Structure 1
Amino acid sequence: MMIKRKEILNSQLKLSVIVFAATILGKIFTELGFPETNIVVMYLLAVLLVARFTSGYQYGILSAVVSLICYNYFFTEPYHTLAVNDPGYLITFSIMLITSFLTSALTTKEKLLTKEANERGEESQILYMLSSKLSDAADMEAVLKIAAESISHLLQVNVGCIYVGRQSEPIYIQQSGKEQIHRSVPDADEIRKIYTDLRTEYLEEEEGYGYPVNGREHLLAVVRIDKTVYTKQLQEKKKLLHSIMENVSMAMDRIEVTIERVRDRESMERERERANLLRAISHDLRTPLSGIMGTSEMLMDMTDKEDRRQELLQGIYQDADWLKSLVENILSLTRLQDGKIVIHKEMEAIEEVIGCAIAHVERSFPEREIQVEIPEEFRLVPMDAKLIEQVITNLLDNAVKHTRPREAITVSASYTEDTLLVSVRDEGEGIDEADVPNLFKIFYTSKTRSADVKRGIGLGLTICETVVNAHGGTITGRNRTDRKGAEFIFTLPLPEGGREIV
């Protein structure tokens, strides 16, 4: 308000001084015997100067009226009155007034256009320098420092910038004068909650005005502008302020993408190293395991069935077989992930594949009975029989581990118009609800299973999902709805017009 009043008084003073100077010069011209047209031109010049050195159209118009009154009062008969003896002066006054109005309007408009052009040029220079600095910024802290300095310089107040994105720890940089201060972030989660999807341009807080800086997918930062800033100044600099924040947003997005790529690259490198280690260990374990299985099997044949050592030898054989199966799973998974196993699809009968898988499981668990439900119709399905057999074997092995000998395990197959569905159901303990979303994650094992269940390392189901997806199918796991137990279902696509034999 004080600045506005001071500006008005300054403009009024300029108007008075310029019109007064024009009147004095007019008196001098009269004494020197100059024609009245020179005095008229002098007042037109005064109007032009007032319009040039004051703000707004009103002062130019006011100077035109005051100049006309002064000319009539001091330079037309009768002098020192506003009366007019010669009607011709009325035409002179009209032309003088119209000319003054037009001159004032054109001068004021030209001044405003020049001011706008200068402001646009200054804004372009500010944005160019800002973009140049932001392109060189290597981390989020550097971006915050540049943003705080630029906005503080623009508005001439203290400015704080808080990073609350997802790729690094929250950072708070405050520009106080020429000094930059690191401050602790009060509560990043609360800031995200308040400013995410904010429906207003800014949020008025105790410390100042908070402007959200949004990225492509989420809130990146918040700019806090001190309350000492004038509201008019904020409105005048609104477009430039938003342009600065857009540039800051793009720089932050760029750094977040870079951080994410580096982390992904590091994760891929760790995964590659882990796969290489697993592959090396698995290769080294296969030979001694085969020897242990062969020796234990030979000793079982050489030992009487009633001998108490028979049970011990059988346990050795089963554990070695379990370890060998685990090693094969690891090797299969690493080959699949590396793309070294190529899917060779041929037209196969799912009944034969299920039979081979059951035979494999029954060799390791001869005491278990597995029920089979096969449809009457016979179809040939495009698949890699060896890999699909491994999928069914892993699912059956998983079911055996989670059921007692008296609890039933069932394998069933059925067809729709374009899909083969294979399910493995059991009547065991079921799947804990917390484990359902993580069933097919690599190395994931349940932490809620009963103590008597033999633990794996979380590879079997991952291999199943990889193989089925490679065939263009899907696999899901869930608890049964008809009774207690778990159910795993995978699908394989059938060819269009697939062959059917009844």
Structure 2
Amino acid sequence: MGEILRHIEGKMKQKRERKKKFWHVFLFITILIGMTLVGLLFRTVGFPETNIVLLYLLGVLLISRFTGGYAYGITSSVFATGAFNYFFTEPYYTLSVYDSSYLITFAIMMATAFITSTLTSKIKMNAEIAREREAEANALYRLTSRLTDVTEISEITSTVVEMVSNLFNCQAACLVYTDLQEPENTFIQQQMKGKQIRREVQDPHALKHQIAGLRTEFNVGEEFHDWPLYGRDTILGVLRIPNSDVSFMNDSQMRLLHSMIESTALAMDRVKSVSERQRLKEEATQERYRGNLLRAISHDFRTPLSSIMGTSEMIMGVTDPGADTHMLANTIYNDAERLHSLVENILALTRLHEGKLVPEKQLEAVEEVVGAAIKAMANRLADRSVKVNIPNEILLVPMDAKLIEQVLINLLDNAVKHTQPDEEICISVVENKVEKRAEFHIADRGKGISSADLPYIFQMFFTSQSDKKEKRRGIGLGLSICESIVVAHGGTIKAGNRIDGPGAELIFTLPLQIDCLDEGETTNND
């Protein structure tokens, strides 16, 4: 039905164009004949030929004014000169000229008529262009005014489809892209004035491919000409005009359509930007509330955990190591210590998210930092064999000793979880003079890291599938926090499996010199 209506409308437009052309030809002939008749009257009355020349110039001016384009005006100047020669110069009713001075008159008359018609047509054309631009400006103003306060993409599409359809007398449509840069499965189209419908996209993937590979300003499909709506970084949607309607659009209408497409894209981009900022603001607020809650809970846990650890340690000190009471107190101490470590990691996590995890670097002796970490893990390492390899010479490394100590504690705790009591844990520190870095190796003799887990080992809250079978598995914060601390020091961290047998090995490096941009000076340890 829509195709039939558009076909009928096209026929009516062609009929109007033919009628307009016929009217211009009628005016052309009528004005020339009228001027000739009045000129004959002037000759009968005895008016001089100069008045008749001016009369024909007036006719040329009227033809240029009330007909379309330069052709009518130029043609009328030629016919006016010929008519003056035929009717008003001797010998009459012939194109012959007895007086050669008339040739100059004809030339001047021809040039004057030509210039007059040209200037008149140009003024008329400029006036027409001004009216078109005024109409464009008014249409864009109405569109922009309606889109200014719109807060939803659906409102933008509905408004644009309605205005484009009304302005160009067509059934425009608009398809929106999702946040994942995929065309929606349906699009909105104007069916009639005041009524819009939803239609399904036949092949969204094919349409996406066509728009993505577009080399021209629009894509021509089976039913629509599709103009993409470009945002700052992505495609926001597609404005669709039926093919049969595009064929009747002139240059002025195409120019207006392009301006409306740009205004629509800007409005969509603005709405998406506002929505994205709002989403980020809400996420930041939620993250701040979550961080405050975690920090408050962690601080509240610290005091009772310290009390539990101190009490259980005191009980172990006054009881026989073989007694049930001693074993119970030891279990309580180990569980409290594990919770205490978890609390410290949560606090470090909140500081990391708030951007407060900034290392205060000072030159520290590696053996002191490693010793402090082992001492902090003394109770959990009491029945373990820990091998420490440190350079004989004092190795000073710029670091935040407290943060690096936490890294070593987390890595040692991870090694303890994955090794049996009779298996060895090894800590090695190597000075890499070529790359000017200190390398820390923490290795164990456990089962190692599976190839499936290795790419995700440092992700926050990641726990190995094998850890789910463990009774006391962690929550996946330790290694993630280690990575954040090491990276904040300008170092690197990686995980892998040992090549000299079973077991895992985690290696992190720290620069041997302080970044002069951070500390204001450079310190080398060579």
Q: Does 1:40 align with 2:53?
A: yes
Question: How many residues are matched?
Answer: 500
Question: Which residue does the alignment assign to 1:181?
Answer: 196
Q: Using the alignment, how far apart are the partners of 2:389 and 2:22 within structure 1? A: 99
Q: Using the alignment, how far apart are the partners of 1:439 and 1:360 within structure 2? A: 24
Q: Residue 90 of structure 2 contacts residue 98 of structure 2 at CA under 8 Å; is this kept in 1?
A: yes
Within 5 Å, which residues of 2 pair with 1:383-402?
Answer: 383-402=399-418
Question: Which residue does the alignment assign to 2:3?
Answer: none
Question: Which residue does the alignment assign to 1:328?
Answer: 344
Q: Residue 429 of structure 1 contacts residue 486 of structure 1 at CA under 8 Å; is this kept in 2?
A: no
Question: Which residue does the alignment assign to 1:468?
Answer: 486
Question: Which residue does the alignment assign to 2:5?
Answer: none
Q: Using the alignment, how far apart are the partners of 1:93 and 1:27 within structure 2? A: 18
Q: Deviations over 1:379-438 (max 9, x none)?
A: 322322112100111122123323445665443333445443334344544545665565
- Structure 2 residue aligned with 1:214, among 230, 253, 269? 230
- Structure 2 residue aligned with 1:24, among 18, 37, 58? 37
Q: Does 1:487 align with 2:512?
A: no
Q: Deviations over 1:314-344 (max 9, x none)?
A: 4443222211211222123324544667644
* Structure 1 residue ranges (4+ consecutive) displaced by more than 6 angstroms after TM superposition: none
Q: Does 1:451 align with 2:464?
A: no
AA at the equivalent of 2:337: D
Q: Residue 411 of structure 1 contacts residue 422 of structure 1 at CA under 8 Å; is this kept in 2?
A: yes
Question: Which residue does the alignment assign to 1:498?
Answer: 523
Question: Which residue does the alignment assign to 1:138?
Answer: 151
- Describe the shift of the 1:122–1:316 C-alpha distance in structure 2 as closer, same or farther (beyond 3 A): same
Within 5 Å, which residues of 2 pair with 1:96-111?
Answer: 96-111=109-124
- Equivalent position SS for 1:181: strand
- Equivalent position SS for 2:104: helix
- Equivalent position SS for 1:378: coil
Q: Using the alignment, how far apart are the partners of 1:453 and 1:488 within structure 2? A: 27
Q: Residue 362 of structure 1 contacts residue 368 of structure 1 at CA under 8 Å; is this kept in 2?
A: no
Q: Residue 167 of structure 1 contacts residue 259 of structure 1 at CA under 8 Å; is this kept in 2?
A: no
- Describe the shift of the 1:137–1:36 C-alpha distance in structure 2 as closer, same or farther (beyond 3 A): same
Instruction: Name the stretch that deviates more: 121-130 or 484-493.
Output: 484-493
Q: CA deviation at 1:218?
A: 0.8
Q: Deviations over 1:245-278 (max 9, x none)?
A: 2222222222111111111111112112222222
Long gaps (5+) in structure 2:
1-12, 515-520
Q: Using the alignment, how far apart are the partners of 1:499 and 1:89 within structure 2? A: 105
Q: Using the alignment, how far apart are the partners of 2:452 and 2:257 within structure 1? A: 48
- Describe the shift of the 1:88–1:337 C-alpha distance in structure 2 as closer, same or farther (beyond 3 A): closer
AA at the equivalent of 1:352: E
Question: Which residue does the alignment assign to 1:260?
Answer: 276
- Describe the shift of the 1:499–1:234 C-alpha distance in structure 2 as closer, same or farther (beyond 3 A): same
Q: Deviations over 1:97-117 (max 9, x none)?
A: 122111111111222222222
Instruction: Name the stretch that deviates more: 94-103 or 277-286.
Output: 277-286
Q: Residue 174 of structure 2 contacts residue 239 of structure 2 at CA under 8 Å; is this kept in 1?
A: yes
AA at the equivalent of 1:173: I
Q: Using the alignment, how far apart are the partners of 1:355 and 1:221 within structure 2? A: 62
Q: Using the alignment, how far apart are the partners of 2:358 and 2:103 within structure 1? A: 103
Question: Which residue does the alignment assign to 2:169?
Answer: 156
Instruction: Name the stretch that deviates more: 132-141 or 482-491.
Output: 482-491
AA at the equivalent of 2:427: V
Q: Residue 422 of structure 1 contacts residue 489 of structure 1 at CA under 8 Å; is this kept in 2?
A: yes
- Describe the shift of the 1:459–1:72 C-alpha distance in structure 2 as closer, same or farther (beyond 3 A): same
Q: Residue 159 of structure 1 contacts residue 223 of structure 1 at CA under 8 Å; is this kept in 2?
A: yes
AA at the equivalent of 1:489: F
Q: CA deviation at 1:58?
A: 1.7
Q: Deviations over 1:275-297 (max 9, x none)?
A: 22222332333344334434444
Q: Residue 436 of structure 1 contacts residue 477 of structure 1 at CA under 8 Å; is this kept in 2?
A: no
Q: CA deviation at 1:136?
A: 1.7
Q: CA deviation at 1:463?
A: 2.5
- Equivalent position SS for 1:229: helix
- Describe the shift of the 1:265–1:296 C-alpha distance in structure 2 as closer, same or farther (beyond 3 A): same
Q: Residue 165 of structure 1 contacts residue 219 of structure 1 at CA under 8 Å; is this kept in 2?
A: no
Question: Which residue does the alignment assign to 2:4?
Answer: none
Q: Using the alignment, how far apart are the partners of 2:308 and 2:205 within structure 1? A: 57
Q: Does 1:351 align with 2:367?
A: yes
Q: CA deviation at 1:493?
A: 5.4
Within 5 Å, which residues of 2 pair with 1:200-349?
Answer: 200-231=216-247, 233=249, 235-301=251-317, 304-306=320-322, 313-338=329-354, 343-349=359-365
Q: Using the alignment, how far apart are the partners of 1:164 and 1:342 within structure 2? A: 41
Alignment root-mean-square deviation, CA = 3.2
Q: Deviations over 1:132-159 (max 9, x none)?
A: 3322222222222232233223322111
Q: Residue 432 of structure 1 contacts residue 448 of structure 1 at CA under 8 Å; is this kept in 2?
A: no
Q: Residue 513 of structure 2 contacts residue 524 of structure 2 at CA under 8 Å; is this kept in 1?
A: no
- Equivalent position SS for 1:233: coil
Q: CA deviation at 1:220?
A: 0.7
Q: Using the alignment, how far apart are the partners of 2:250 and 2:71 within structure 1? A: 25
Q: CA deviation at 1:182?
A: 5.0
- Describe the shift of the 1:128–1:83 C-alpha distance in structure 2 as closer, same or farther (beyond 3 A): same
Q: Using the alignment, how far apart are the partners of 1:426 and 1:110 within structure 2? A: 91
- Describe the shift of the 1:87–1:467 C-alpha distance in structure 2 as closer, same or farther (beyond 3 A): same
AA at the equivalent of 1:163: V
Q: Using the alignment, how far apart are the partners of 2:285 and 2:71 within structure 1? A: 72
Q: Using the alignment, how far apart are the partners of 1:411 and 1:194 within structure 2? A: 59
Q: Using the alignment, how far apart are the partners of 1:38 and 1:433 within structure 2? A: 104
- Equivalent position SS for 1:364: coil
AA at the equivalent of 2:194: E
Long gaps (5+) in structure 1:
none
Instruction: Name the stretch that deviates more: 438-447 or 220-229.
Output: 438-447
Q: Using the alignment, how far apart are the partners of 2:66 and 2:448 within structure 1? A: 87
Q: Using the alignment, how far apart are the partners of 1:33 and 1:446 within structure 2? A: 116
Q: Does 1:412 align with 2:428?
A: yes
Q: Residue 467 of structure 2 contacts residue 473 of structure 2 at CA under 8 Å; is this kept in 1?
A: no
Q: Does 1:365 align with 2:378?
A: no
- Equivalent position SS for 2:97: coil
